[in-house]
């Protein structure tokens, strides 16, 4: 009699059999496949008495180290075949075989074999019984008319001396195109690597200061950040800063664990440190790709580049070479012989020799255009960095580039922008964040976020301040510490604050002189404190000030007016009895006569016989006067309530 065994029941059965015969689960499945027991749509079809045959066959295989496998296995398949956790397989792949792969990536046969060997088994390749259907091609959800894939733009960040420059140099030197030109490249602030699988544009100024300086000017240039962490040093303060800068920019990050050639390299330590900073490697079940590399020997670098391209593919980066020109200035300088020189990264459309441009507050026509090899170019498409000559003045890094049909029109706008800047000083034109300014911004419905950069003298106070700030809860304003650290407020803190429209808060620390200047220039508010509660109170007050206060009525009690006294000295008094709850001398009241509301207002005086009373409770008699209301009558009912702020 045929029977259907549910997949998970089968898995349990397989695991039990594997244990009984000292085999891996995959070996048991192999035996099952040999016996013609196949999985169909999540179910296994099997005859009951087949299990006897299964047991006999397993007995033959007892203790065997050969494991039958179908081609195109993924790390996940291999983990389940070996009966080991997926993370273990990924860790082995990365640490022992120096291969980075997603759990669902098909492995090359030789990699799968080596991987399985690491666990003490040998692969015997089985024929695929049915060809796998090709996976459906991912759709491009926001495909713009004419949009085409474009190379990713990558920035390298990390702690000083962890090898950012070395990595950029190695990648540049190993670039085929550069070799053809005798390895001579020009420093133009960015370069492009051409691999068989695609191109990658690297920004040549490593570090988060440059990265965030661009963002502070409103230019999000980087598509993918590569965080370099030296395997012999581990995560250091600037690594954490870089992580926070990248997170704030919402840019995907790939971690390059560098210097694995060194004797004291400990890549596993880096791997285990990353989750402390909310960067969870794939090997630990997270999303972050981690690549072990050496910028000296070049080991692992091809793989890193492959992963960058993979990440780019996932992001489906695209631009329209025929679309509107968009570009950003990466770097600019004045050259004695050539005049203003600017490196422009084309983001959309195509830049042509002879184009008229408006670039920030300057303008001009492109007289010459070269790539990072010094080659003359006539056209440059999306993600291409080019050095251009012909601008009338030196633009700023981060300035946007616009195409103009007519150079005169570009000039007029550039001139008026210069005038604006002259009038406005050096402000960036955006609304400046300060605790005082928050209230106004909120009432205009502009912001509900309060971003803070927190610096303190010792890590204990960083934690304390952070902890208290994070406790400031509010449904309408999101208070977020986007970066915190030990040490004085630095220029890079100001840049991050400027990019994130944040306020810099220092506890027992002061801004560095450079930071102070930068803060003035970028209009970033710096607040320093020596008393922790003052700091918290100020932020709390600002956050509360950000809210239009909300009030609600809170029921206090019910009072019946029983006698109306007309006293010569006091005037008309309601002789009353509290029937429920209480009434206070500050109560708000509603006076009802039957179903009619005859008065809404406040208590003016409350007396217990002749004495002023603070409050009277149920069962007590009292004399009440109301503000501007004396027309009450016997039998009127008074409802007492309070008005309380609920935020
Ligand atoms: P940056 O400050 O992050 O740009 O670091 P550098 O690229 O200047 O590198 C700092 C030092 O580390 C230099 O002496 C490099 O030669 C060395 N270095 C960088 N990468 C590696 C590597 O992969 N292996 C070894 N052994 N040394 C490296």
Q: Which CATH number fits domain 149-317: 3.40.30.10, 3.40.50.720, 3.40.50.300, 3.90.1150.10?
A: 3.40.50.300
pLDDT (mean) for 349-372: 92
Residue 42: what pLDDT?
39
Q: pLDDT (tens digit, 9 = 90+) per residue, 545-571?
A: 654 455 678 899 999 999 999 888 888
Residue 304: what pLDDT?
96
CA-297 nearest atom, ligand 1: 23
CA-206 nearest atom, ligand 1: 4
Chain centre distance of CA 283: 20
| Torsion sign (Cα): 141, 142, 144, 150 | negative
pTM of the predicted model, to two decimals?
0.56
Please tell me the distance from the alpha carbon of residue 641 to that of residue 624, in angstroms, as a whole number: 15
pLDDT (mean) for 375-386: 94
Best of 164, 166, 173 for a ligand 1 pocket test (most atoms within 8 Å of beta carbon): 166
Residue 231: what pLDDT?
96
Chain centre distance of CA 12: 40
Cβ neighbours of residue 511 closer than 8 Å, sequence gap 6 or more: 488, 489, 490, 494, 504, 519, 526, 528
What are 10's two structure tokens?
A: 């089968």
pLDDT, averaged across the chain: 82
**CA nearest neighbour of 384 among 396, 367, 401:** 401
| Torsion sign (Cα): 581, 584, 586, 591 | positive
CA-293 nearest atom, ligand 1: 23
Best of 158, 160, 161 for a ligand 1 pocket test (most atoms within 8 Å of beta carbon): 161
Cβ–Cβ under 8 Å, residues 330 and 294: no
CA-295 nearest atom, ligand 1: 23
Q: Which CATH number fits domain 326-426: 2.40.30.10, 3.40.1500.10, 3.40.80.10, 2.40.160.20?
A: 2.40.30.10
Phi, psi of 96 (to 5 degrees): -90, -40
Number of C-beta neighbours around residue 139 at 10 A? 8
Please say whether the structural domain 553-645 has been given the CATH code 2.40.30.10: yes
Residue 48: what pLDDT?
57
Question: Between vectors from CA 370 to CA 367 and to CA 372, what angle results, nearest 5°?
Answer: 155
Residue 459, H or E segment = helix 459-471
Helix-strand-coil percent breakdown of the chain, rounded to 5?
30, 35, 35
pLDDT (mean) for 11-16: 73
What is the distance in A from the centroid of ligand 1 to the CA of 163? Answer: 4
Model confidence at 442, in pLDDT bands (50, 70, 90)?
A: low
Q: pLDDT (tens digit, 9 = 90+) per residue, 90-113?
A: 888 888 887 777 777 788 888 889
Model confidence at 263, in pLDDT bands (50, 70, 90)?
A: very high
Model confidence at 184, in pLDDT bands (50, 70, 90)?
A: low
pLDDT (mean) for 230-240: 93
pLDDT (mean) for 354-364: 90
Cβ neighbours of residue 270 closer than 8 Å, sequence gap 6 or more: 229, 231, 234, 235, 255, 257, 290
Best of 270, 295, 299 for a ligand 1 pocket test (most atoms within 8 Å of beta carbon): 295
CA-158 nearest atom, ligand 1: 3
What is the distance in A from the centroid of ligand 1 to the CA of 161? Answer: 6
Write the residue with the smallest CA distance to atom 20 of ligand 1.
163
Read out DSSP for 1-26? -EEEEEHHHHHHHHHHHHHHHT--HH
What is the distance in A from the centroid of ligand 1 to the CA of 603? Answer: 78
What is the distance in A from the centroid of ligand 1 to the CA of 225? Answer: 18
Residue 539, H or E segment = helix 532-545
Write the residue with the smallest CA distance to atom 2 of ligand 1.
161
- Fold of the 435-548 domain: Rossmann fold (3.40.50)
Write the residue with the smallest CA distance to atom 14 of ligand 1.
161
Judged against a pLDDT cut of 50, whether residue 281 lies above it is answered with yes
Cβ–Cβ under 8 Å, residues 385 and 330: yes
3-class SS of residue 439 = helix
What is the distance in A from the centroid of ligand 1 to the CA of 264? Answer: 14
Please tell me the distance from the alpha carbon of residue 86 to that of residue 69, in angstroms, as a whole number: 17
Cβ neighbours of residue 488 closer than 8 Å, sequence gap 6 or more: 455, 506, 509, 510, 511, 512, 515
Residue 429: what pLDDT?
40
CA-262 nearest atom, ligand 1: 26
What is the distance in A from the centroid of ligand 1 to the CA of 409? Answer: 48
Q: Do domains 326-426 and 553-645 have the same CATH topology?
A: yes
What is the distance in A from the centroid of ligand 1 to the CA of 305? Answer: 18
Number of C-beta neighbours around residue 449 at 10 A? 14
Percent of the chain exceeding pLDDT 70 equals 83
Q: pLDDT (tens digit, 9 = 90+) per residue, 557-608?
A: 999 999 999 888 888 999 999 999 999 999 999 999 988 889 989 999 999 9
CA-168 nearest atom, ligand 1: 7
Query: Domain coordinates of the chain in residue numbers?
Result: 7-125, 149-317, 326-426, 435-548, 553-645
Ligand 1, CB within 6 Å, residue ranges: 158, 160-166, 206, 258-259, 261-262, 294-296
Model confidence at 501, in pLDDT bands (50, 70, 90)?
A: confident
Model confidence at 626, in pLDDT bands (50, 70, 90)?
A: very high
Read out DSSP for 31-74? HHHHTT--EETTEEEEETTHHHHHHHHHHHHTT--EEEE-SS--
């Amino acid at each position: 009699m045929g029977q259907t065994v549910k997949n998970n029941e089968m898995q349990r059965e397989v695991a039990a059999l594997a244990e009984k015969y000292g085999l891996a689960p995959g070996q048991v499945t192999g035996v099952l496949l040999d016996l013609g027991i196949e999985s169909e749509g999540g179910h296994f079809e099997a005859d009951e008495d087949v299990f006897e045959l299964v047991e006999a066959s397993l007995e033959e295989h007892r203790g065997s180290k050969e494991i039958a496998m179908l081609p195109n296995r993924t790390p996940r398949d291999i983990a389940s075949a070996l009966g080991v956790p997926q993370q273990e397989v990924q860790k082995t792949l990365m640490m022992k075989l120096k291969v980075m792969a997603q759990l669902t990536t098909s492995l090359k046969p030789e990699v799968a074999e080596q991987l399985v060997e690491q666990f003490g088994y040998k692969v015997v390749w089985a024929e695929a019984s049915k060809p796998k259907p090709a996976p459906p091609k991912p759709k491009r959800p926001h495909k713009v008319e004419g949009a085409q894939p474009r190379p990713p733009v990558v920035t390298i960040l990390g702690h000083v001396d962890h090898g950012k420059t070395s990595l950029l140099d190695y990648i540049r030197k190993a670039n085929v195109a550069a070799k053809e030109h005798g390895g001579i490249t020009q420093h133009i602030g960015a370069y492009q690597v051409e691999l068989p699988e695609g191109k990658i544009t690297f920004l040549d100024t490593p570090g988060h200061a440059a990265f965030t300086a661009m963002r502070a000017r409103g230019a999000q240039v980087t598509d993918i950040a590569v965080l370099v962490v030296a395997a012999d040093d581990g995560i250091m303060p600037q690594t954490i800063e870089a992580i926070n800068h990248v997170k704030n920019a919402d840019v995907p990050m790939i971690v390059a664990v560098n210097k694995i050639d060194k004797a004291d390299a400990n890549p596993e330590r880096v791997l285990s440190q990353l989750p402390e900073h909310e960067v969870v490697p794939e090997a630990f079940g997270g999303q972050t790709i981690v690549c072990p590399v050496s910028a000296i020997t070049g080991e692992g670098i091809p793989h890193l580049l492959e992963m960058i391209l993979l990440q780019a593919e996932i992001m489906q980066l695209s631009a329209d070479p025929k679309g509107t020109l968009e570009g950003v200035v990466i770097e600019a300088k004045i050259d004695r012989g050539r005049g203003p020189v600017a490196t422009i990264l084309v983001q959309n459309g195509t830049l042509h020799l002879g184009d008229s441009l408006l670039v920030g507050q300057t303008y001009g026509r492109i007289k010459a255009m070269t790539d990072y090899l010094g080659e003359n170019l006539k056209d440059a498409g999306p993600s291409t960095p080019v050095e251009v000559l012909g601008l009338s003045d030196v633009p700023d890094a981060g300035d946007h580039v616009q195409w103009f049909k007519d150079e005169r029109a570009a000039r007029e706008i550039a001139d008026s922008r210069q005038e604006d800047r002259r009038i406005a000083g050096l402000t960036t034109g955006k609304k400046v964040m300060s605790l005082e300014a928050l209230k106004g911004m909120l009432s205009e419905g502009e912001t509900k976020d309060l971003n803070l950069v927190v610096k303190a003298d010792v890590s204990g106070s960083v934690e304390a301040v952070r902890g208290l700030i994070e406790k400031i809860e509010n449904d309408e304003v999101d208070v977020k510490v986007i970066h915190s650290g030990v040490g004085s407020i630095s220029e890079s803190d100001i840049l991050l604050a400027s990019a994130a429209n944040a306020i810099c808060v220092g506890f027992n620390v002061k801004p560095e002189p450079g930071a102070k200047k930068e803060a003035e220039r970028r209009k970033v508010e710096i607040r320093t404190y020596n008393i922790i509660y003052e700091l918290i109170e100020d932020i709390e007050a600002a956050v509360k000030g950000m809210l239009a206060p909300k009030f609600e009525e809170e029921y206090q009690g019910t009072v019946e007016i029983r006698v109306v006294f007309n006293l010569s000295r006091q005037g008309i008094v309601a002789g009353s009895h509290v029937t429920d709850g209480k009434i206070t001398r500050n109560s708000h009241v509603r006076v009802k006569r039957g179903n009619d509301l005859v008065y809404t207002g406040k208590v003016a005086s409350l007396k217990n016989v002749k004495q002023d009373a603070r409050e009277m409770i149920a069962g007590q008699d009292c004399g009440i006067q109301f503000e501007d209301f004396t027309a009450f009558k016997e039998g009127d009912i008074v409802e007492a309530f309070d008005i309380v702020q609920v935020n």
